[in-house]
Protein backbone atom coordinates (compact mmCIF):
# COMPACT_ATOMS: atom_id res chain seq x y z
CA UNK A 1 0.00 0.00 0.00
CA UNK A 2 1.35 3.40 -0.96
CA UNK A 3 -0.04 6.94 -1.21
CA UNK A 4 1.28 9.59 -3.60
CA UNK A 5 0.08 12.87 -2.07
CA UNK A 6 -0.17 15.97 -4.27
CA UNK A 7 -0.51 19.29 -2.40
CA UNK A 8 -0.58 22.97 -3.31
CA UNK A 9 2.42 23.97 -1.24
CA UNK A 10 4.82 23.41 1.62
CA UNK A 11 2.50 24.86 4.27
CA UNK A 12 0.09 21.93 3.75
CA UNK A 13 2.79 19.33 4.33
CA UNK A 14 2.95 19.33 8.17
CA UNK A 15 -0.81 18.86 8.50
CA UNK A 16 -1.11 16.04 5.99
CA UNK A 17 1.96 14.31 7.42
CA UNK A 18 0.46 14.59 10.91
CA UNK A 19 -2.79 13.00 9.72
CA UNK A 20 -1.05 10.11 8.00
CA UNK A 21 1.37 9.36 10.81
CA UNK A 22 -0.79 9.98 13.88
CA UNK A 23 -4.22 8.92 12.63
CA UNK A 24 -3.15 6.02 10.40
CA UNK A 25 0.27 5.07 11.79
CA UNK A 26 1.82 5.33 8.32
CA UNK A 27 5.52 5.98 7.74
CA UNK A 28 6.80 8.51 5.22
CA UNK A 29 8.81 6.78 2.50
CA UNK A 30 7.39 3.38 3.38
CA UNK A 31 3.68 4.14 3.01
CA UNK A 32 3.44 7.62 1.49
CA UNK A 33 5.31 10.36 -0.32
CA UNK A 34 4.27 14.03 -0.33
CA UNK A 35 4.68 16.30 -3.37
CA UNK A 36 4.12 20.04 -2.66
CA UNK A 37 3.66 22.38 -5.62
CA UNK A 38 4.11 26.09 -6.26
CA UNK A 39 0.60 27.15 -5.34
CA UNK A 40 -2.83 26.22 -6.64
CA UNK A 41 -2.67 27.20 -10.31
CA UNK A 42 -5.59 26.37 -12.60
CA UNK A 43 -6.65 23.44 -14.70
CA UNK A 44 -5.44 23.72 -18.32
CA UNK A 45 -8.04 23.97 -21.07
CA UNK A 46 -6.56 20.90 -22.73
CA UNK A 47 -5.93 18.09 -20.25
CA UNK A 48 -3.90 16.15 -22.81
CA UNK A 49 -1.48 18.98 -23.66
CA UNK A 50 2.09 19.12 -22.40
CA UNK A 51 2.12 21.30 -19.25
CA UNK A 52 3.69 24.74 -19.38
CA UNK A 53 6.93 24.52 -17.39
CA UNK A 54 6.47 28.15 -16.32
CA UNK A 55 3.30 27.25 -14.43
CA UNK A 56 4.13 24.98 -11.50
CA UNK A 57 0.88 25.11 -9.54
CA UNK A 58 -0.89 21.91 -8.53
CA UNK A 59 -3.78 22.29 -10.95
CA UNK A 60 -1.47 23.46 -13.76
CA UNK A 61 0.43 20.20 -13.52
CA UNK A 62 -2.32 17.85 -12.34
CA UNK A 63 -3.47 16.34 -15.66
CA UNK A 64 0.11 15.54 -16.67
CA UNK A 65 0.92 14.19 -13.21
CA UNK A 66 -2.10 11.88 -13.28
CA UNK A 67 -1.22 10.62 -16.74
CA UNK A 68 2.29 9.95 -15.46
CA UNK A 69 0.88 7.88 -12.61
CA UNK A 70 -1.20 5.73 -14.99
CA UNK A 71 1.12 2.75 -14.63
CA UNK A 72 1.10 2.63 -10.84
CA UNK A 73 0.68 -0.96 -9.60
CA UNK A 74 -2.31 -2.17 -7.54
CA UNK A 75 -2.26 -0.92 -3.97
CA UNK A 76 -1.19 2.59 -4.94
CA UNK A 77 -3.42 5.65 -4.66
CA UNK A 78 -2.89 9.22 -5.83
CA UNK A 79 -4.34 11.65 -3.28
CA UNK A 80 -5.02 15.20 -4.46
CA UNK A 81 -5.78 17.90 -1.88
CA UNK A 82 -6.65 21.34 -3.19
CA UNK A 83 -8.05 24.46 -1.51
CA UNK A 84 -11.44 25.67 -2.67
CA UNK A 85 -10.56 29.27 -1.73
CA UNK A 86 -13.64 31.22 -2.83
CA UNK A 87 -14.65 28.71 -5.52
CA UNK A 88 -17.82 26.69 -5.01
CA UNK A 89 -16.70 23.34 -3.63
CA UNK A 90 -19.08 21.26 -5.74
CA UNK A 91 -18.09 23.10 -8.93
CA UNK A 92 -14.40 22.54 -8.22
CA UNK A 93 -14.93 18.86 -7.45
CA UNK A 94 -16.95 18.47 -10.66
CA UNK A 95 -14.17 20.10 -12.68
CA UNK A 96 -11.57 17.80 -11.14
CA UNK A 97 -13.64 14.69 -11.85
CA UNK A 98 -14.34 15.81 -15.41
CA UNK A 99 -10.63 16.41 -16.00
CA UNK A 100 -9.73 12.99 -14.58
CA UNK A 101 -12.30 11.22 -16.74
CA UNK A 102 -11.07 13.03 -19.86
CA UNK A 103 -7.53 11.66 -19.58
CA UNK A 104 -6.46 9.08 -22.13
CA UNK A 105 -4.49 7.27 -19.41
CA UNK A 106 -4.86 7.63 -15.65
CA UNK A 107 -4.28 5.81 -12.37
CA UNK A 108 -7.08 3.51 -11.31
CA UNK A 109 -7.10 4.69 -7.69
CA UNK A 110 -7.41 8.44 -7.11
CA UNK A 111 -8.75 10.36 -4.13
CA UNK A 112 -9.78 13.95 -4.92
CA UNK A 113 -10.35 16.03 -1.82
CA UNK A 114 -10.98 19.73 -1.22
CA UNK A 115 -10.11 21.83 1.82
CA UNK A 116 -12.93 24.32 2.34
CA UNK A 117 -11.80 27.16 2.23
CA UNK A 118 -8.16 26.22 2.86
CA UNK A 119 -6.26 24.01 5.27
CA UNK A 120 -6.16 26.89 7.77
CA UNK A 121 -9.94 26.40 7.95
CA UNK A 122 -9.22 23.06 9.62
CA UNK A 123 -7.31 24.96 12.32
CA UNK A 124 -9.85 27.67 13.11
CA UNK A 125 -12.60 25.01 13.26
CA UNK A 126 -10.69 23.34 16.11
CA UNK A 127 -10.23 26.16 18.59
CA UNK A 128 -8.95 23.74 21.25
CA UNK A 129 -6.04 22.83 18.97
CA UNK A 130 -5.22 26.50 18.43
CA UNK A 131 -5.44 27.15 22.18
CA UNK A 132 -3.04 24.29 22.96
CA UNK A 133 -0.55 25.44 20.33
CA UNK A 134 -0.87 29.15 21.13
CA UNK A 135 -2.19 29.64 24.69
CA UNK A 136 -1.77 33.42 24.48
CA UNK A 137 -3.62 33.85 21.17
CA UNK A 138 -6.76 35.99 20.95
CA UNK A 139 -9.02 32.97 20.66
CA UNK A 140 -12.17 35.10 20.65
CA UNK A 141 -11.20 36.24 17.14
CA UNK A 142 -12.00 32.78 15.77
CA UNK A 143 -14.61 31.62 18.28
CA UNK A 144 -18.07 31.10 16.80
CA UNK A 145 -16.93 30.79 13.18
CA UNK A 146 -18.97 28.11 11.42
CA UNK A 147 -16.60 25.30 10.34
CA UNK A 148 -15.59 25.49 6.67
CA UNK A 149 -17.25 28.85 6.15
CA UNK A 150 -15.56 31.21 3.69
CA UNK A 151 -14.23 33.92 5.99
CA UNK A 152 -10.60 34.33 4.92
CA UNK A 153 -9.40 31.56 7.22
CA UNK A 154 -5.66 32.18 7.21
CA UNK A 155 -6.15 35.92 7.69
CA UNK A 156 -8.47 35.29 10.64
CA UNK A 157 -5.95 32.88 12.13
CA UNK A 158 -3.14 35.40 11.67
CA UNK A 159 -5.15 38.08 13.48
CA UNK A 160 -5.92 35.67 16.33
CA UNK A 161 -2.19 35.04 16.65
CA UNK A 162 -1.50 38.77 16.84
CA UNK A 163 -0.08 39.00 13.32
CA UNK A 164 -0.84 41.38 10.48
CA UNK A 165 -1.89 39.31 7.44
CA UNK A 166 -0.04 41.66 5.09
CA UNK A 167 3.20 40.82 6.88
CA UNK A 168 2.71 37.04 6.75
CA UNK A 169 4.04 34.63 4.14
CA UNK A 170 4.41 30.92 3.49
CA UNK A 171 6.90 30.44 6.31
CA UNK A 172 4.34 31.73 8.81
CA UNK A 173 1.74 29.29 7.50
CA UNK A 174 4.25 26.45 7.81
CA UNK A 175 4.93 27.43 11.43
CA UNK A 176 1.22 27.52 12.26
CA UNK A 177 0.71 24.09 10.70
CA UNK A 178 3.68 22.58 12.52
CA UNK A 179 2.41 23.85 15.87
CA UNK A 180 -1.35 23.36 15.50
CA UNK A 181 -1.61 20.12 13.49
CA UNK A 182 -0.30 17.92 16.37
CA UNK A 183 -3.30 19.04 18.46
CA UNK A 184 -6.05 18.58 15.85
CA UNK A 185 -8.82 16.19 16.82
CA UNK A 186 -8.45 13.56 14.11
CA UNK A 187 -11.00 11.14 15.58
CA UNK A 188 -13.91 13.58 15.52
CA UNK A 189 -12.77 16.41 13.23
CA UNK A 190 -14.58 19.71 13.62
CA UNK A 191 -14.13 20.64 9.93
CA UNK A 192 -16.35 18.68 7.50
CA UNK A 193 -13.71 18.84 4.77
CA UNK A 194 -11.03 17.55 7.14
CA UNK A 195 -13.40 14.73 8.07
CA UNK A 196 -13.96 13.95 4.37
CA UNK A 197 -10.20 13.84 3.76
CA UNK A 198 -9.62 11.51 6.71
CA UNK A 199 -12.53 9.25 5.77
CA UNK A 200 -11.34 8.98 2.17
CA UNK A 201 -7.85 7.97 3.24
CA UNK A 202 -9.31 5.57 5.81
CA UNK A 203 -11.34 3.71 3.18
CA UNK A 204 -8.28 3.20 1.00
CA UNK A 205 -6.03 2.17 3.90
CA UNK A 206 -8.58 -0.32 5.25
CA UNK A 207 -8.91 -1.96 1.82
CA UNK A 208 -5.19 -2.26 1.24
CA UNK A 209 -3.45 -2.94 4.54
pLDDT for residue 209:
75
| Domain extent listing, the chain | 2-208
pLDDT > 90 fraction of the chain, expressed in percent and rounded: 94
Give the whole-angstrom CA distance, residue 117 versus residue 124.
Answer: 11
What confidence tens digit (pLDDT) does each residue in 74-113 have?
999 999 999 999 999 999 999 999 999 999 999 999 999 9
The string of DSSP codes covering 168-208 is --HHHHHHHHHHHGGGS-SSS-SSHHHHHHHHHHHHHHHHH
Q: What is the pTM of this model?
A: 0.96
The predicted pLDDT at position 52 comes to: 83
Amino acid sequence: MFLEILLEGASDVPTVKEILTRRFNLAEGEHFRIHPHKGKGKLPLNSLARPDVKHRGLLDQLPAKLRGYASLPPGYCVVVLVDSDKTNCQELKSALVQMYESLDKRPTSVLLRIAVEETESWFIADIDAVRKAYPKAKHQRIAGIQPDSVVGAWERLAEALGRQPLNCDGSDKCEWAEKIAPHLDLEAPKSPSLKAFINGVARFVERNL
